[in-house]
Structure 1
């Protein structure tokens, strides 16, 4: 598992917000904190869902969803992304393997790199 923290830009409904982001190869999904999601707006779930963490018996509370555009290292990713909203997340955004693999994002020497410039999504 490799992690690196960087700033990205999150676009939603004509707004742009800078987000402290953890790129985490140990996370299969991508998430946004409730506090950050409240700034840009999100769709709450009727009932929260538990998301298992990498610690036995520990869970995060998924409380909603948000659809956004993401700018990583100066490149706006070509597709909108759905991020789960997590109550109590300690960083603004977690980018997991679902987005990293889709766009060929990888971590090298604590830097974010792309297999292809500009980043493109691929159907394999």
Structure 2
């Protein structure tokens, strides 16, 4: 399995009712440069899953999305080197997430709150905006 792409985690308030393919489209749209190793659909899921992931433990994402699932229990999970927090999260929620164990070890991108206005209800092109913000971090 190729591991040269950059492992990231995405979290936010994901409502798949409007577009069931939204999360998978974001994951695919960030490839091949970025590997979404873990995707949390809520702040609550993030609080439960992130600290253990940063400790190098195998954590099954409640969203069932992320390349670490494909690694199985026999291989160590890839730790994210950056987190993207969706624009639906308020600053206080992001700050609380950053304060979790491991949250200060990696850079964060908090997407703008106007993302729905800019990208429409289907949020077409959001993955490109995410990639641009990640690119600005000069991750390796």
The interval holding the TM-score normalised by the smaller chain is: under 0.3
What TM-score, normalized to structure 1?
Answer: 0.28
**TM-score calculated relative to the size of structure 2:** 0.26
Higher strand share: 1
